[in-house]
Chain A
């Protein structure tokens, strides 16, 4: 049997699954986005780009901008926090390294719904922070901490930090430790060593982590829905509302494709940047 025939046989079952569950649905989504939009819109009619003109509305422009801003801030903060963690992991050995990796991976095992719930318990009007501040008399009335863009970013950073850290660790592990030692031996301060040696050499890992975190933040639903609430609407929560609340499937589809297009363009650009 030739390699090509063998590969075809091995790839056929999963290929079929991807065709039925991913490729066909996305094509259908693209077609639906070209149907006339409106509440309870039927899934037929003349094809046009009509539903996309709704995106010119400032309401959707605001939502798209907010989605991008939240994703960008999340990416930035995971980078800032991910570096020290990654350096600590890549410098430790044996059991301590396993413990750190477990600590890093364990949040991934807790459903994002549960972790968002944790942030509500912490930041809500009757949450831990407000209870403590009011009972100690520092403030009189609860602060509005939840349902803010900032709290969504905080919750997303917590959820996605492990992805960023593991991406940087993967590169740092392959980086020769003697390069850093040489820099130190030649009189560079730890900060200079980080800035001129560690940072440039680990850039590919940070970049792939950044792309991953950015894409996953763009697509996350549970965190903005629970921590952001109805006030902080982002693309995915809007898509969900359009699809299940008003049954405007063409608009939900065009919003989906816009989000996919933005994500793919940014991912491609950053891949160019890496070269």
Chain B
């Protein structure tokens, strides 16, 4: 690799990581002003975070919503990915993947309208949030599992069937082990995408229940102190740990 390419690549990686790094730096800042170089470092904003009940509750809600949405997405997404790849249903495929590129606010607005007509009593509860998050996580599961199915050898399934295995046995003993990395990757992506999603939560957050990104957004609007930087840094640390562990254990495949 030439020196110019290496230097420019280094700078671009720096640019890419700058925004998260500055948030981490600010979370240790002794004052609400951003000082460079820092006089001291402090953990007081992490302490303050535990006193902010809306932020703390939103972390719990985000975990519950992300876990439920991921569970649903895996349960219905793996069979769908199987049918979509093995039968090459391209039109249906693009419909199923469309929430990846359609504007989240537009999807959320449609959902809100549908809900206010069909089930107004659900407004303000956790259900619309879970539904919205299933809609954004499902395409990620279908995409990663499909990618894995594309490279898994379909002849192995034929061989299993030829040797007398039932379709169920073939799926659970042959196909499933082959696509396990795709399922794990899909689940991790689904969880993280749901945990960080903002546009689809915004319409459905209420005074009673909200997700972490929405709570952070509201907090930034009202206060100017590093408490949300501390909350964000905790999330960054946790997800980095999760991804590094999963990659090291070779359980997860990077795209």
In the complex, chain B residues whose CB is within 8 Å of the CB of A122: 18-19, 22
- A-B CB proximity, top 5 nearest: A219-B103, A25-B110, A118-B19, A111-B196, A10-B83
Is A76 at the interface (CB under 8 A from chain B)? no
Indicate if the CB atoms of A221 and B102 lie closer than 8 Å.
Answer: no
Stretch at the interface among B30-38, B47-55, B154-162, B176-184: B30-38
Contact with B along A63-88 (1 / 0, CB 8 A): 00000000000000000010011011
Is A166 at the interface (CB under 8 A from chain B)? yes
Stretch at the interface among A52-60, A137-145, A199-207, A253-261: A253-261
Mark A residues whose CB is within 8 Å of B.
1, 3, 6-7, 10-11, 13-15, 17-18, 20-22, 24-26, 28-29, 32, 43, 81, 84-85, 87-88, 91-92, 98, 101-122, 126-128, 131-132, 155, 158, 161-162, 166, 170, 190, 212, 215-216, 218-222, 225-226, 235-236, 239-240, 243-244, 249, 252-253, 256, 259-260, 263, 267
**A99 vs chain B, min Cβ distance (A):** 10
- Counting residue pairs across A and B whose Cβ atoms lie within 8 Å, the total is 258
Q: Is the contact region of chain B dominated by helix, strand, or loop, or is it mixed?
A: helix
Is B92 at the interface (CB under 8 A from chain A)? yes
Q: Among B35, B79, B84, B228, which residue has the most Cβ atoms of chain A within 10 A?
A: B79
A18 in complex: contacting residue of B95, B167, B217, CB < 8 Å: B95
**A118 vs chain B, min Cβ distance (A):** 3
Indicate if the CB atoms of B16 and A104 lie closer than 8 Å.
Answer: yes
Q: Among A20, A155, A162, A212, which residue has the most Cβ atoms of chain B within 10 A?
A: A20
Interface size of B in residues (CB-CB distance below 8 Å):
85
Is B80 at the interface (CB under 8 A from chain A)? yes
Is B165 at the interface (CB under 8 A from chain A)? no
CA distance in complex: A122, B77 (Å): 40
Given contacts A88-B9, A111-B195, A113-B217, contact A22 B135 (CB under 8 A): yes
Mark B residues whose CB is within 8 Å of A.
1-2, 5-6, 8-9, 12-13, 15-23, 26, 33-36, 72, 75-77, 79-80, 82-84, 87, 89, 92, 95-96, 98-99, 101-107, 109-114, 116-117, 131-132, 134-135, 138, 142, 167, 192, 195-199, 202-203, 212-213, 216-217, 220, 228-229, 232, 235-236, 239-240, 243-244, 247, 254-255
Q: Is the contact region of chain A dominated by helix, strand, or loop, or is it mixed?
A: helix
Indicate if the CB atoms of A219 and B76 lie closer than 8 Å.
Answer: no
In the complex, chain B residues whose CB is within 8 Å of the CB of A29: 106, 109-110, 113
CA distance in complex: A113, B21 (Å): 14
Indicate if the CB atoms of A259 and B106 lie closer than 8 Å.
Answer: yes
CA distance in complex: A212, B235 (Å): 26
Closest A residue, CB atoms, query B195: A111
Indicate if the CB atoms of A161 and B16 lie closer than 8 Å.
Answer: yes
In the complex, chain A residues whose CB is within 8 Å of the CB of B36: 128, 131-132
CA distance in complex: A267, B101 (Å): 10
In the complex, chain A residues whose CB is within 8 Å of the CB of B95: 18, 22
| 10 cross-chain CB contacts under 8 A | A22-B135, A29-B109, A85-B9, A109-B240, A110-B20, A122-B22, A126-B33, A219-B199, A239-B106, A259-B103
In the complex, chain B residues whose CB is within 8 Å of the CB of A43: 113, 116-117
In the complex, chain A residues whose CB is within 8 Å of the CB of B80: 10-11, 13-15
Closest B residue, CB atoms, query A114: B232
